[in-house]
Structure 1
């Protein structure tokens, strides 16, 4: 990372194969005591995840419970690391300014352990390639937040170079991805990973790909705001509409901060997509009518959690919206590790 980029941060501008090392008991979150930095868990080199959906279900709307459990086991070490990093960032953002540099250096040091090992370099299944974007997004957002306070220039450069390699691989993958997935929520997550990583070194090519990918998914929205790829997901359609909004909203906000406002693209597609989702959270009737399935939030199989709506904080930073505020206010603080953790703190307005 060049000195100009570091200066910007200093001034505050922002795997089913078990072929991985077992996560150690030590957490990755920065300790409350700024002088103590917990060790990072062993880096994961290989990630081999099989689809959690029935093989005969092209729409990926029928879960295979056994495959789902195996996938969660495979991803757990990576997801635990990301969750701990997000908790460390929350600790940092709640701390006195004098404590933040040491805590930020700790986060960068933990990330650098994985960067130096070139972690996640072997994604041996298509499903691993499809799912890694959301994790890279969270890692990049944590890095960007920590970089605002860290003085560890060498560690930061190592982490940014590693994230850039992984995101560049995603850029190539998504241009040849399966047709349905190419316009769905996982593409949007890869777009967010690119948006957040591009900011770390002002990578114009990566940012351009992020703009293209985010706009591609956003502009697929139907006139009523439903996202067509997510509406193929049967009882999970509303769930995946929300899951797609998380990277779309966050990427659009980050891109606006980077000088590319696309919030109003395609006849205000973002606002339409947000209002479709929020207005259907009362009973799921719209989505049920479109899919012929009672939605997971209303058939007793899933519960709406705060993380499903964590993107509301970024959305309310973009625009004033009484409907969105009504959903956000009673649920704060809103947090989701794939978005870097506590969104109420990160997007403190």
Structure 2
């Protein structure tokens, strides 16, 4: 006998250049309100994974790393914070949810969702102007401060802020990633897990080349585009249509993760797709973005291309942008050198969809670098709200 599907309150939102299904923790089935198999099975079914066709037709996912995402929000248990934010990156073709990192793009939608779903009392917020929401990012145990525009007591979603990689303008949401370096990282307890700004990364059959390993925003491996045969002007199809290239990037990522101390064996990289990210950098040069927009070399400090979940990202992951801004602020990293070197508090980089500016405040204390915050602007809006349905036997 077939049972009716479960109806679970949910909101489908865009945050930055990503989309995901947002839930209040209290609305999940009881078994899924705790970490574990029941929660993972539920989110996999919601998104439509695992899908051997890699289309996620029978779910809410969009068959890309940017659209195979879930978020769980609750009232915060942390002093000085209003909400707790947990992010789950859902694999498209495999049966697992990666909880190892944050999504910087969807971070832009968390404050808005919290206000509109009643997790924050609107009477405590300004009716007009900017509402400041302190978010505890559960995955990485860090604070994000979101500045949400308000109009007549409601979240203002429409505006004239344009974000490359997003078709339509919206209201600007400024995000502060407080103390973004992972001081308790698995790779050794510092922003630079090896203790070096630049290391030599040896990858069998591919060679040995410089790399910057950083734990800021999200664990990231930076390499020079020229060292691996690229220019830094590549668009998605240039990489994603080349199976051999994707395999090479995954191999570099796996060996980098091992050198960072994030995994103990190369085989573990297969079940840790969300982190670390791998990105390649190049000095500023002119190119044509995926939209047909001309990006002039004079308008950027450097070029960056990054891969997420095994594919070149169509724009830039928000967490990786934090890593870029942080690394750019520290003289001597590959990112800083590609941008021309020297001290800087902000950088504008070119990505496949256009450009993005991110700022970071870095200081050198007793021979060690610290970053107090990274700042960038995104936008967010509700796409659909109501209930998501899953088969009753899911959980």
Which of the two has greater helix per residue? 1
TM-score range, shorter chain: 0.3 to 0.5
Query: TM-score scaled to structure 2, two decimals?
Result: 0.30
Which of the two has greater strand per residue? 2
